[in-house]
Amino acid sequence: MNDDQLLRYSRHILLDEVGIEGQQRILDAHALVIGAGGLGCPAALFLASAGVGEITLVDHDTVDLTNLQRQIGHTTERVGMPKVESLAAALHALNPGVKVHCLQQRADDALLDHAVPRASVVLDCSDNYRTRHAINAACMRHRVPLVAAAVIRFDGQLSVFDPRQPDSPCYACLFPPDAEFEEVQCSTMGVFAPLVGVMGSLQATEALKLLSGAGTPMTGQLLMLEGRSMEWSRMRAHRNTECKVCG
């Protein structure tokens, strides 16, 4: 690290659990953030501020006026711009030392098989069930840890899946891909704006723990927040030996 980096990241370096070595691991890391919306914005901003060396953003969409209620990486002036480019501008303004790659594409199997193996950690900030399963399957194939979150209305959830750990379940162990599931979207159900900030920030927290070695990642756990009452609940998930993805 140079003098500028030592100063910029000094509050991390002061933490015994991070220190010089942990901060260097963050600087050497590559995070893949899939989704540049409500979750992806705060997650990517905190990854950039913490000094993750490379961040790849994946999103096929453009900034819309309705996004600005909760997607804090975008601005009114950038309405109509690709979300990945808008968020990249915010990340560069925050930390010019971070290398940002923009992929304005859907996260299909071909893209995931190209991008996931190059990542140190994957953050699933997508907004639909099919994409979540595709991301999970790619992470299991390429043995890359996954931090997944979802928010709808006043409800949020967060989980970490690490295929490098023999006892870690995967997303499909909790939510089987062939299960009947009613897809709900914020465009019809609504979403409480600060809640995506809470869950996206927690995604960054877990990702940075995985990268730096600080603390204990919540691998194999599902953390849930009911935002109206601010009640947190947690359940431990177990690997399903009959899972079609990781079993």
- Residues 50-60: pLDDT tens digits? 999 999 999 99
Query: Residue 234: pLDDT above 90?
Result: yes
> Is 186 assigned a catalytic role?
yes
- Sequence ranges of the domains in the chain: 19-236
Q: Burial code of 46-83, b = ≥16 C-beta within 10 A, e = fewer?
A: bbbebbbbbbbbbbeebbeeebeebbbbbeeebeeebb
**Which of 41, 186, 243, 246 is an active site residue?**
186
**H or E element, residue 152:** strand 146-152
Assign 185 a pLDDT band (cuts: 50, 70, 90).
low
| Domain 19-236 belongs in CATH node 3.40.50.1980 | no
What are the tens digits of pLDDT across the range 23-44?
Answer: 999 999 999 999 999 999 999 9
Q: Among candidates 195, 97, 200, 207, which has minimal Cα distance to 145?
A: 207
